[in-house]
Amino acid sequence: MKKMIIDIDSLIIWLHKHSQQMLCAGVILPTLLLFICTVNTYCESMRDTNVSSTLVPAIADKVNVNLNMDDGSHEGSLAVAKSAATTVAPVSLALTLTGIIASDDRVFSQAIITSQGGPRNYNQGEYIEGLSGVFIEKIDINTVRINNNGTSQLMTLLDEDPTPPSKAPEQTKKTRFLSDFIISNPVYENEKLTGVKLYPRGAASRFTRLGFKSGDIALKINNHILSEPEGMKAALNELSTLGSAQFTVLRNSNEKLINASTMDVE
């Protein structure tokens, strides 16, 4: 291998001769490299900016589309819900409220409800047997609120034997008194009151059913002695208010006791 011999003197002369050119190259070359790097960095930045500006509108449009779709679908859902709420009536439940066991603490109150499975006691919050989504929402003294899949329905406790419709009042029978069937006339002998002679008022058959005969002379009515003016007056006044009375009559010179009642005439 051939050795390379460097002439130091010649090298020094060459460097001295070209020192200005080398100085310029030492200044220009770094400046040129810096410029190239700056331009390259600027180009890279512009390219990234263009890409970002291209992607952002696309992403923004997509977000707007998604938001619009969400708003539309939400409004559509609300519209469907509102339509369903206004057009779909709750399904009637085949339930009968037959009793309520009320308590001051509603936790212990129970509703006796008959469904397809028969009668059963339910507490507040308990689901009805055999019915999906149907449960006892609230128990009061006379009412039970049922939640039928989100729709509240009220059940009222009815009496097992409701009051029957009132009948037309029957015509009240007229009360009949003894004076309606008897005519009485005071009897005097030698200007002295001896009694009261009895005659039929109206049909003689009714007078007879009372136990009298035409021409009977009453000597006593209840405790009133008819030979005394005060007793006679009191007795005759009572005939207009009594439906029955005990008479002592003189018939064929014999005294006879008669218990007369208007019930025997009707």
pLDDT on residue 216: 93
Residues 203 and 242 in one domain: yes
> Does any domain span residue 234?
yes
In a domain, 34, yes or no: no
Q: Are strands 118-123 and 110-115 parallel, antiparallel or unpaired?
A: antiparallel
Give pLDDT tens digits for 10-65: 767 766 676 666 666 666 777 777 777 777 777 676 665 554 444 445 444 544 44
* Inside any domain, residue 165: no
pLDDT at 244 over 90: yes
pLDDT band at 105 (very low <50, low <70, confident <90, very high): low
**Comparison of pLDDT for 159 and 183, the residue scoring more:** 183
In a domain, 239, yes or no: yes
CA end-to-end span of the chain: 172
Is the pLDDT confidence value at 123 over 60?
yes
On whether residue 46 sits in a domain, the answer given is no
User: Are both 108 and 138 inside the same structural domain?
Assistant: yes
What is the domain range of residue 62?
52-88
Higher-confidence residue of 262 and 1: namely 262
**More confident call, 80 vs 92:** 92
- Please check whether residues 84 and 100 belong to one and the same domain: no
Confidence tier at 4 by pLDDT (50, 70, 90): low
| Mean pLDDT across 83-90 | 47
Mark whether 70 and 101 lie in a shared domain. no
Q: Give me the CATH number covering residue 107.
A: 2.30.30.830
- Is residue 119 a part of any domain in this protein? yes
How much is the pLDDT for 181? 92
Average pLDDT over residues 119-148: 87
Structural domain count of the chain: 3
Are residues 205 and 257 part of one domain?
yes
Residues 184 and 249 in one domain: yes
Residue with the larger pLDDT of the pair 60 and 143: 143
Of the candidates 32, 64, 88, which is a domain's last residue?
Answer: 88
260 and 199 in a common domain: yes
At 85 the pLDDT is 44
User: Does residue 204 sit in the same domain as residue 255?
Assistant: yes
